[in-house]
């Protein structure tokens, strides 16, 4: 509670710092007159002070209608400082609604010069829907020049969405060249954007350059391929966790070791059965053994509490680290309840990861009583807040035998929603 109050205080200070009294040079330049601006500002401060995010979100929407430099500055200050998904989404919506030359110019300036990568991610995602060649050029420059993988990924997805191959492909090829030495999530997003824009798929930057150079001057929508012209796979002989191929090079495995993981599931058709904890351990040993030192990883085991193989960090998959991790995995034993919230909270403390593999055999539970639907939604909200800038991919894994049991739909719905909201998929085991 104290942390929330401190954050709210910081936001209120930011609002005051951008208010009409301090930033008078900007007054009157937007669509709102002085009284309307002050009224929206007052409503925003009142909503934040009371913790009423509906009121605060309404004020943010009103501020967005000002369509001005002052509104952009105000909204960026709010959207970054307050850890609330409703405020964040309202901020994105308000920024995305602006079309004036002044407001868009301020956003383009921020994308080029702001030192906070979170601001650049927010602006890329906002500008993705703002029309104009200058906007496409700015995003293409971001994908080519930015050094932060989160920004590169967001920019690649934005360019794919905008659909302007002529203004985008060269920047994407530059980004592919930049990320080729570490074929991670950003590299994958860039390559997927190139394929989406051109209808072709080549693996190396040189292949893309040879393809694009003779075609770029006369490229039209009719030049697109049908995506059957491919030049390789995303990753040769990539390691897998169960059926999911691992593309990320910065991985966190979060494994349920609650008491129910001691249960033994019967075989079903051509699907393997056996004790859940042993199946999870065997899969972990297999995937860890297949990693090479280009990969960095960590493992969290959770039940009532959370244990980490490495405390809040990921380490290269060297032979010594693989051997240490395998020994740690082999010692995992099932006991206790399913505190998925604690495990995810611990996982997101690591700022390097870009993919989480979450395996569980039950809905979140803190004691003999399962979490209520509101508490389960609270965990989804917790991840939503933690992941709003980073877009860490969350792949979830659940046991089919549990899914088919009474009440199994709660468990599956939770894991599916968690994956769907975080660029991942739910995988039945």
- Mean pLDDT of successive 10-residue segments in the chain (429 residues)? 47 48 46 92 90 90 94 86 80 92 95 93 94 96 95 96 95 95 89 94 91 92 70 60 89 95 78 83 95 94 94 93 96 92 94 94 80 87 91 92 79 93 92
Distance CA 176, CA 144 (A): 8
Helix (H), strand (E) at residue 277: helix 276-290
pLDDT of residue 213: 93
pLDDT score of 237: 65
Q: How far apart are CA 355 and CA 235, in angstroms?
A: 16
Buried/exposed code over 410-421 (b: 16+ C-beta within 10 A; e: otherwise): ebbebbbbbbee
Instruction: Identify whether the C-beta of residue 395 lies closer than 8 Å to the C-beta of residue 244.
Output: yes
Element (H, E) at 53: helix 53-64
CA distance 428 to 254: 16
Phi and psi based region of residue 199 (left: phi greater than 0; alpha: psi -120 to 50; beta: remaining): left
What is the distance between the alpha carbons of residues 42 and 174, in angstroms, rounded to a whole number?
46
**Cβ-count burial 251-267 (b if 16+ within 10 Å, e if not):** bbbbbbbbbbbeeebee
- Domain ranges within the chain, ordered by starting residue: 1-98, 109-234, 240-428
Of 399, 395, 397, 383, the residue nearest 425 (C-alpha): 395
β partners of residue 229: 200
| pLDDT of the residue at 14 | 52
Neighbours of 165 (CB within 10 A): 25
Altogether, the residues listed in the chain come to a count of 429
Pairing of strands 296-302, 306-308: antiparallel
Residues β-bridged to residue 240: 245
C-beta atoms surrounding 219 within 10 Å: 15
Domain 240-428: assigned CATH number? 3.40.50.410
DSSP class of residue 218 equals: G
The verdict on pTM exceeding 0.85 is: no
> Which residue has tokens 């609650």?
258
Report pLDDT for 123: 95
Confirm if 128 and 121 have CB atoms less than 8 A apart.
no
User: Going by C-beta distance under 8 Å and a sequence separation of 6 or more, which residues neighbour residue 313?
Assistant: 298, 350, 352
Cα(377)–Cα(189) distance, rounded to whole angstroms?
29
């Amino acid at each position: 509670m104290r942390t929330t109050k401190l954050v709210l205080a910081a936001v209120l200070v930011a609002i005051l710092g951008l208010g009409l009294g301090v930033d008078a040079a900007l007054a009157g330049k937007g669509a709102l007159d002085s009284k309307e601006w002050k009224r929206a500002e007052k409503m925003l401060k009142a909503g934040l002070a009371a913790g009423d995010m509906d009121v605060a979100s309404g004020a943010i929407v009103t501020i967005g209608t000002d369509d001005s430099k002052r509104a952009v500055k105000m909204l960026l200050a709010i959207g970054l400082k307050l850890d609330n998904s409703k405020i964040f989404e309202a901020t994105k919506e308000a920024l995305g609604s602006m079309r004036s030359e002044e407001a868009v110019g301020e956003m383009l300036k921020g994308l080029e010069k702001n030192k906070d990568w979170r601001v650049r991610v927010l602006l890329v995602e906002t500008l993705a829907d703002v029309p104009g060649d200058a906007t496409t050029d700015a995003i293409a420059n971001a994908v080519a020049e930015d050094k932060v993988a989160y920004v590169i990924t967001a920019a690649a997805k934005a360019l794919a969405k905008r659909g302007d191959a002529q203004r985008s492909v060269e920047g994407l090829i530059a980004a592919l060249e930049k990320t080729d030495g570490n074929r991670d999530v950003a590299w994958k997003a860039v390559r997927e954007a190139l394929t989406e824009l051109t209808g072709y798929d080549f693996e190396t930057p040189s292949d893309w350059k040879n393809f694009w150079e003779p075609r770029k001057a006369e490229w039209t929508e009719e030049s697109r391929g049908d995506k059957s012209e491919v030049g390789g796979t995303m990753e040769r002989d990539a390691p897998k966790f169960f059926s999911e191929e691992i593309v990320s090079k910065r991985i966190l495995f979060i494994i349920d070791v609650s008491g129910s993981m001691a249960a033994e599931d019967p075989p079903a058709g051509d699907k393997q059965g056996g004790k859940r904890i042993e199946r999870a351990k065997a899969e972990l040993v297999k995937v860890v053994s297949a990693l090479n030192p280009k990969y960095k990883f960590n493992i969290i085991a959770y039940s009532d509490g959370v244990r980490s193989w490495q405390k809040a960090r990921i380490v290269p998959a060297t032979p010594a680290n693989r051997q240490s991790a395998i020994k740690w995995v082999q010692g995992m034993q099932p006991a206790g309840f399913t505190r998925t919230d604690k495990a995810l909270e611990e996982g997101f403390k690591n700022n390097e990861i870009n993919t989480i593999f979450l395996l569980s055999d039950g809905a979140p539970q803190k004691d003999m009583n399962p979490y209520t639907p509101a508490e389960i939604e609270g965990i989804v909200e917790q991840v939503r807040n933690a992941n709003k800038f980073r877009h860490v991919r969350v792949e979830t894994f659940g046991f089919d035998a549990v899914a088919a049991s009474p009440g199994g739909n709660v468990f599956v719905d939770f894991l599916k929603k968690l994956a769907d909201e975080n660029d991942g998929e739910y995988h039945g085991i």
